[in-house]
A and B are shown apart, each in its own frame.
Chain A
Amino acid sequence: MDTLILSRIQFGANISFHILFPTITIALGWVLLFFKLRFSQTGGQRWLEAYRFWVKVFALSFAMGVVSGITMSFQFGTNWPGFMESVGNIAGPLLAYEVMTAFFLEAVFLGIMLFGMSRVPSWLHTLSTFLVAFGTTMSAFWILVLNSWMHTPAGFEMRDGVAFATDWWAIIFNPSMPYRLVHMLLASGLTVAFLLAGLSAFRWLIGDRSNGVRATLKTGMTIGAVLIPLQILAGDFHGLNTLEHQPQKVAAMEGNWDTGPNVPLVLFAIPNEETRSNDFEIAIANGASLILKHSADGVVPGLNDFVTEDGTVQHPPVAPVFFSFRIMVATGMAMLLLSWTAVFFMARKRRGVEGLPKPLLWAMVPMAFSGWVATLAGWYTTEIGRQPWLVQGVLTTEAAVADVPAPMVASTLIVYLAIYAVLLTAYVSVLFYLARKAAKGEPIGPRIPVAPAAQVPVAAE
């Protein structure tokens, strides 16, 4: 394998590992603020219990996100110097604003949020929780501005192969930004909803009947049931936006080779780039035309439009985009089914969590990580769908890669993959370990000793 493909796999691995944790912290920050506010208003112990447990998940996820994010900021330089050399004038300020308005805010107030509960007044602790949540969301905003600009660049001009900003408003509010931002924030909300419900269902199944676990299970499933239809709607709008600006990506998602009217909706197929057609196609007649153009004879662009006369392929690799998209949609459907069924059983005879049948609770446990699956599949769809471009129409991925020897990239890639495998295993098992400990009613964190005499050195958390 050459440097380009190895560097791509390495960056893909880094960013896939990284996004798992911000996806959790962005929404979990707001959920923690909700728990804290409910506790402040009602004094209900269950909200404090919920806060105490989930703040640990937050701290762990946050640390994983920080360290994997630092890795990425360095890889721009070590592996992709062409990116900053060519579009640095645009990407630079956006990244700078992310560091300045988001990273410091979350990092500093996280310290107060985690360890300051007994040191600062309650309002300052609540404010810190708010600022951490706000910081993670700001971070998402800036990075999605940059990512969207790479898909739908605007507000710049090229001089000698270097992009110069002409209109910052157009750069920030570039055509795909609002859709991508909403889609990602909802994805974060769903990931946290199913994680809340999944870990709580696990605690319930092993015998935990605390009010805290009731509160989080109900909160999780309710958030999930509310957000999933919104997400399907947002995804549809995002798809139409993509059709307008990156039709080759939509063509790959649909597995549609020829431009024309009455294009069927391909449910399943194996796209074959050799024959430039689909094998084993199962399709609904006129479906794609109806979804994308809202009429059966709407003309939908096909992949063959994106091959130049000399045979150069200007569209993304079809199969990865095609399958990623289907995995995302299928996961979304499973989320819809599970959350609505759960809400139905909880509402029936107002039985709440007691009303949930056991198989449904068991289904929630593996679905705890369904948000991760859908988010990754969605990102693969959109990012692989941008290939061969790094910045659509401006810079190819190939032109940006560093001239580092392939064996060197291979060696760092192997180390990263090994570390990520270990850390991911450790992360998931610690989540379940904390859940089991909480279910047994053991204090999951050291408490401040009652009498000073009883003070023993206890672990930092």
Chain B
Amino acid sequence: MTLFGDPAVWLPLAFAALLGASILIYVVLDGFDLGVGVLFPFAEKDEKDRMIASIGPFWDANETWLVLAIGILLVAFPTAHGTILTALYLPVAVMLVGLILRGVSFEFRVKAPAHHKTSWDRAFYVGSMMTSLSQGYMLGMYIMGLEVTAFTLAFSAVTAVFLTVAYSFIGATWLILKTEGALQRKAVAWSKGGIWGVVLGLGAISVASPLVSPRIFDKWFSMPEFFLLLPLPLMSGALIVLLWLALRRLPTRDDSWAWFPFAATIVLFVLGFFGMAYSFYPFIVPDRITIYEAASAPESLFIILIGTLFVLPMILGYTALAYTIFRGKATTLSYD
């Protein structure tokens, strides 16, 4: 256990990295299928079926990354887990109710009598909205250090809206990749309408975090860090310009480049995530508890890490298998 130096140092760091990776994968994967739910009211009846077909085989596994993330927080940083979740009691409850509604609607909308389908479609939309909004709200509260004041509430309300729009954006880019014809053209239009959410969301978080915390300000605006970090915002800016140019030309006649908006959005999410991770390190509860203070006993972390090193590559492997099997345009989804 002393292979890499003091396990009380590198184990918490390794688990913080695992936690970060799970949250990032969750935000990208469930982000697109939540986004598809957010876009539901804008679609026609038969388009809704097609949209569900594009996410049907994946949503369950996508959501499992949330369970893994909360699990790692729970097992690796128990004190932070309690502090964060009791502080976010109500938004968490809203998110859970949202996840319940949308999860069961997938099944009920096609298994219940036909005249109930509209109601379950509505439940699917409402559930997706509740989940996205509450996650955006929690993101805002987290950035504001979990303090409840009029200003932090207002800020969190804003991040709630921006994250929801950002999810709808990545959802729309997913639909560009997975659909064709009229629905694909619609998805391009939705993407054009949603890109501002991504821009404003990234902007709001970038501006607010250093203003709220002098520590974060120093991390970004002292020399030479400022120049070392400059590629992060520059790359994000360039990607957004490229995205806009691509959206103006899509869909192409031979459907080339349909993958580009989705791929570019993933990179954008990753860049934004790294920016945030850099800002908050080494804290897990902003400016209060560090990952080292919150970590579980090394012997417990070690036994989880061994399992993780074996199992995580397998999980990634069969996740890739599922995405390969269900690659291509989503047409119909049936048990046959």
* A-to-B contact residues, CB < 8 Å: 52, 55-56, 59-60, 62-64, 66-71, 73-74, 76-78, 81-82, 84-85, 88-93, 95-97, 99-101, 103-105, 107-112, 114-120, 162, 164-165, 168, 402-404, 408, 412, 415-416, 419, 423, 426, 430, 433-434, 445-448, 455, 457-461
B331 at the interface (CB under 8 A from A): yes
Total A-B pairs, Cβ < 8 A: 250
Complexed CA–CA distance, A99 and B315 (Å): 11
Option from A96, A457, A460 in Cβ contact (under 8 Å) with B56 = A460
**A446: chain B residues within 8 A (beta carbon):** 332, 334
**B82: chain A residues within 8 A (beta carbon):** 77, 81-82, 84-85, 402
Top-7 shortest CB links A-B: A81-B82, A92-B75, A77-B85, A111-B57, A67-B103, A88-B78, A460-B333
The reply to whether B112 and A433 form a contact with Cβ atoms under 8 Å apart is yes
The reply to whether B64 and A103 form a contact with Cβ atoms under 8 Å apart is yes
**A66: chain B residues within 8 A (beta carbon):** 60, 63, 103
- A selection of 12 A-B contacts at a CB cut-off of 8 Å is A71-B99, A78-B86, A81-B82, A81-B85, A84-B81, A89-B297, A101-B307, A104-B319, A107-B61, A117-B335, A419-B97, A426-B104
**A69: chain B residues within 8 A (beta carbon):** 67
With an 8 Å Cβ cutoff, the count of chain B residues facing the other chain is: 74
The reply to whether A419 and B100 form a contact with Cβ atoms under 8 Å apart is yes
The reply to whether B303 and A93 form a contact with Cβ atoms under 8 Å apart is yes
A81 with B81: in contact, given A60-B111, A73-B67, A117-B336 (CB under 8 Å)? yes
Complexed CA–CA distance, A55 and B334 (Å): 12
The reply to whether B71 and A111 form a contact with Cβ atoms under 8 Å apart is no
The reply to whether A96 and B111 form a contact with Cβ atoms under 8 Å apart is no
**B315: chain A residues within 8 A (beta carbon):** 100, 104, 108
Identity of the chain B residue whose Cβ is nearest the Cβ of A166 in the assembled complex: B299
**B260: chain A residues within 8 A (beta carbon):** none
Q: Which of B56, B67, B112, B299 has the most CB of A within 10 A?
A: B67
**A402: chain B residues within 8 A (beta carbon):** 82, 86, 89
**A73: chain B residues within 8 A (beta carbon):** 67, 70-71, 74
Stretch at the interface among B47-55, B188-196, B216-224, B243-251: B47-55
Q: In the complex, given contacts A63-B106, A115-B334, what are 7 additional A-B residue pairs having Cβ atoms less than 8 angstroms apart?
A: A56-B335, A74-B96, A85-B79, A93-B303, A165-B300, A460-B49, A460-B56
Q: Which of A52, A68, A458 has the most CB of B within 10 A?
A: A458
The reply to whether A448 and B335 form a contact with Cβ atoms under 8 Å apart is no
A92 with B334: in contact, given A108-B319, A120-B325 (CB under 8 Å)? no
* B-to-A contact residues, CB < 8 Å: 46-47, 49-50, 52-53, 56-58, 60-61, 63-64, 66-68, 70-76, 78-79, 81-86, 88-90, 92-93, 96-97, 99-101, 103-104, 106-113, 296-297, 299-300, 303-304, 307-308, 311-312, 315, 318-319, 321-322, 325-326, 331-336
Option from B57, B112, B332, B335 in Cβ contact (under 8 Å) with A52 = B335
Complexed CA–CA distance, A91 and B109 (Å): 37
**A97: chain B residues within 8 A (beta carbon):** 304, 307
Option from B49, B73, B75, B326 in Cβ contact (under 8 Å) with A459 = B49
The reply to whether A448 and B86 form a contact with Cβ atoms under 8 Å apart is no
Identity of the chain A residue whose Cβ is nearest the Cβ of B100 in the assembled complex: A67
**B299: chain A residues within 8 A (beta carbon):** 89, 164-165
Complexed CA–CA distance, A165 and B336 (Å): 48
Chain B proximity of A446: nearest CB distance (Å): 5
Option from B57, B296, B321 in Cβ contact (under 8 Å) with A114 = B57
The reply to whether B66 and A70 form a contact with Cβ atoms under 8 Å apart is yes
The reply to whether A70 and B96 form a contact with Cβ atoms under 8 Å apart is yes
Q: Which of A52, A67, A89, A403 has the most CB of B within 10 A?
A: A67
Option from B52, B92, B93, B100 in Cβ contact (under 8 Å) with A460 = B52
Chain B proximity of A280: nearest CB distance (Å): 42
Complexed CA–CA distance, A95 and B196 (Å): 40
**B333: chain A residues within 8 A (beta carbon):** 115, 459-461
Option from A55, A430, A448 in Cβ contact (under 8 Å) with B112 = A430
Option from B73, B83, B326 in Cβ contact (under 8 Å) with A119 = B326
A412 with B336: in contact, given A63-B106, A100-B312 (CB under 8 Å)? no
**A112: chain B residues within 8 A (beta carbon):** 57, 321-322, 325
The reply to whether A111 and B78 form a contact with Cβ atoms under 8 Å apart is no
Complexed CA–CA distance, A457 and B181 (Å): 13
Identity of the chain B residue whose Cβ is nearest the Cβ of A168 in the assembled complex: B303
Complexed CA–CA distance, A129 and B128 (Å): 29
Chain A proximity of B298: nearest CB distance (Å): 10
Identity of the chain A residue whose Cβ is nearest the Cβ of B45 in the assembled complex: A457
The reply to whether A95 and B75 form a contact with Cβ atoms under 8 Å apart is yes
**A63: chain B residues within 8 A (beta carbon):** 60, 103-104, 106-107
**B326: chain A residues within 8 A (beta carbon):** 111, 115-116, 119
Complexed CA–CA distance, A454 and B53 (Å): 18
The reply to whether A448 and B97 form a contact with Cβ atoms under 8 Å apart is no
The reply to whether B49 and A457 form a contact with Cβ atoms under 8 Å apart is yes
Complexed CA–CA distance, A165 and B334 (Å): 47
Complexed CA–CA distance, A439 and B73 (Å): 48
Complexed CA–CA distance, A203 and B81 (Å): 49
Complexed CA–CA distance, A62 and B97 (Å): 17
**B96: chain A residues within 8 A (beta carbon):** 70-71, 74
**A84: chain B residues within 8 A (beta carbon):** 74-75, 78, 81-82
Complexed CA–CA distance, A85 and B68 (Å): 19
Complexed CA–CA distance, A93 and B15 (Å): 13
